Structure 1
Amino acid sequence: MERHVSGTLRPYCDQRGYPYKGRKKQLVSLSEKLESGRYSRWSEVDDLYACTVVVPTAAHEDSVLGFLSDAFEEVEVRRRNSTQKAPDVFRFDSTRYIGRIESNPGLDLPEGVQNIQFEVQIPTAFEYAWAVVTHDLVYKSENFDWREQRLASLLKASVEQSELLIAGFQSNVSIVPKSAHPDSDAKNQIVDIFRGLVISGSISKELTPTSWSRFADNFYSLAKSYSSRRAAPVKAVELANAIAARIEGSDEWSELMSGSLFQVVLGMVGGKIAPAANLNNFVVVDSVELRDFHNLEHIPKVFDFNS
């Protein structure tokens, strides 16, 4: 069971960056579970093998459940918040998938293994952290202490609060009071300037960065490399405006399909687009595009691929 389930789920999780953890129930733990009086036969025990697929947020659950239903025989899905819970109670309630291995002719499995159920828990990253931290402290404690149970519930309440804020991240941004920060303000202007160039068609959409935030960080780091920390916000915006003026006056970049938007910036700086702007202290990843499309022949500090 462990070999087949983990062999199916691990590659799926690795491809998506989901942490995966599996465990076979130990004899002592199984004995204590049977003594709970909740089970009348072996087939009712659903976690002789159990594993955990940790997802970033609850929004990722459906895709995991879809994969599980395709890969195994579904017995039951116990959705988060599907059990009755008072509004002042905070406990583990992540989604759980109960399944069996489907009986297929090509599978080399011991007889009867298809009748054993297994469990897949699908907690979010915050829920998983809470469970890992509190499990041994509370549920394997030598004493039953009301205070420990209370503290674990308080921590779970904090987890739920974090989950709610993340689920409505874009909506909740508006409730955060904004504070002036020259570096952040400059990066925001940089994104606005270059996104506008893409939207207007002055720059080919193929050069749109995967992350505007990362582009702004790299652009700002370049400006900092030739200016003081205090002057960097002003210098960065000046450079962005100078590049925008150059691009808007030509259709040279509207048809460019290769390379990256940041390479356009590097080529401009190498061509002395703005006073004092230079590449002397900035490490550049050299490429054919920089030379062929942006005429950047001399790079003072080149990234070394050989060490």
Structure 2
Amino acid sequence: MLWSERYSRLQMECRQRLDPVARRHDGFFLDRLKSKESVFSKVESGQFARPFDEITDLYGATIAVPTMADVESVSVEVLEDFAEISRRTARGNEPREFIYDDLHLVLEVRDSGLLADKTVLALPFELQIKSMLQFAWTKVTHDTIYKGDEISWASDRFAAEAKASLELLDNLFTNVPTTSALHSEKENEDYTNKKTILDLAKERWPRESLPTDLRRTAFTIDEYRHLAAWSLEETLDAVRAPTADALTSAESLTPVQAFLAILCGKLTPAERIAFFEKVRAKGRVVHVTDEMEALAPVLKEVPADLRVEFGLGADR
């Protein structure tokens, strides 16, 4: 069997195993078979006496993940299905050295009773696991500068400078909670209030009931309380009150829906009218369901033009 056919089969096997790993870590997977031209270019370099035994990237794959913090967890999962032959990372500890490199693994498929195609065994391949910034650097500079048809000191210098800058940026993204603390003294009142509301949502609703985009929830609740001219303290007291328990524990209501019901229940009739007018003036609409009205009948007062309409065309 030709080497190209064996490696094509290896590619199919690796795609089935590695693409799901990348997706589970919010990343993506790419691969390629080395072209004949590239293989013979390596052979001509004189580094390989037995190229098909010694060249480890005849098939190569890449997994790119959000930050460097994700690289190690991906490698651990990968090694459940693949045997590690070697690993290389050029990241150094010298303070004046900026080697912003990804993790290179040389792997082989592990044999198991579930492996149908045994021809893919004992075929080494290279897997690079990198952050998305590392991947972007590779596409923007490495492929054009290091593998191009020109030799330029200035271009190589630029690529090295870009690497150093991206290493710093990647470290910032990897350690957002720590690095953002540098700006703790610059927090403004608006963001502090929104964070307090976000923490309130975590306090009053079970984690499984909270939406993924909890930031948007906090922003929406904060806007509602501003439109109702409520202080932050009034908002906290109203949501924490025992009278709100039925709404905050209702599984059919989102935190925003529950807060709207709590808010309207606390407002006087005149205040509700003023609140609805401000909602209208902001160009907003509210999502009121039958369950909300059953738990908080006061929501029946929400004007029709302020309600979300899910019908389409003639269905409305």
Q: TM-score range by the shorter chain?
A: 0.7 to 0.9
Query: Which residue identity is paired with 1:256?
Result: S
TM-score using structure 1 length:
0.79
Q: Relative to structure 2, which stretch is displaced further, 128-137 or 70-79? A: 70-79
**Alignment partner of 1:18 is 2:18:** no
What do residues 7-26 of structure 1 show as CA deviations (whole Å, max 9, x unaligned)?
A: 11112323432111111111
**Alignment partner of 1:266 is 2:260:** yes
Provide the C-alpha distance between the structure 2 equivalents of 1:194 and 1:91, rounded to a whole number of angstroms: 39
What is the deviation of 1:127? 0.7
What is the deviation of 1:271? 4.0
1:96 to 97, 100, 104: 104
Q: Relative to structure 2, which stretch is displaced further, 239-248 or 40-49? A: 239-248
2:31·2:61 contact (CA, 8 Å) conserved in 1? yes
Segments of structure 2 that go 5 or more residues without pairing to the other structure are 1-9
What is the deviation of 1:141? 2.4
Provide the residue aligned with 1:117 in structure 2: 124
Query: Which residue identity is paired with 2:254?
Result: S
Provide the C-alpha distance between the structure 1 equivalents of 2:23 and 2:264, rounded to a whole number of angstroms: 41
- Secondary structure (helix, strand or coil) at the match of 1:133 reads helix
More helix by share: 2
Query: Which residue identity is paired with 2:190?
Result: A
Provide the residue aligned with 1:74 in structure 2: 84
Q: Relative to structure 2, which stretch is displaced further, 204-213 or 133-142? A: 204-213
Residue correspondence of structure 1 range 110-259 to structure 2 within 5 A: 111=119, 113-176=120-183, 185-193=189-197, 195-196=199-200, 199=203, 203-205=204-206, 210-222=212-224, 235=227, 238=230, 240-253=232-245, 256-258=249-251, 259=253
What is the deviation of 1:121? 0.5
Query: Which residue identity is paired with 2:149?
Result: E
What do residues 272-305 of structure 1 show as CA deviations (whole Å, max 9, x unaligned)?
A: 6373322544233444542333433445231426
1:220·1:236 contact (CA, 8 Å) conserved in 2? no
What is the deviation of 1:106? 4.0
Segments of structure 1 that go 5 or more residues without pairing to the other structure are 224-233
What is the deviation of 1:2? 0.8
| Structure 1 residues 197 and 12: CA distance shift in structure 2, 3 A | closer
Provide the residue aligned with 1:231 in structure 2: none
TM-score using structure 2 length:
0.77
**Aligned positions, number:** 288
Query: Which residue identity is paired with 1:188?
Result: T
Provide the residue aligned with 1:49 in structure 2: 59
Query: Which residue identity is paired with 2:236?
Result: A
- Identical pairs, percent: 23
Provide the C-alpha distance between the structure 1 equivalents of 2:112 and 2:200, rounded to a whole number of angstroms: 56
Provide the C-alpha distance between the structure 2 equivalents of 1:43 and 1:288, rounded to a whole number of angstroms: 69
| Structure 1 residues 136 and 210: CA distance shift in structure 2, 3 A | closer
Query: Which residue identity is paired with 2:284?
Result: F
1:18·1:54 contact (CA, 8 Å) conserved in 2? yes
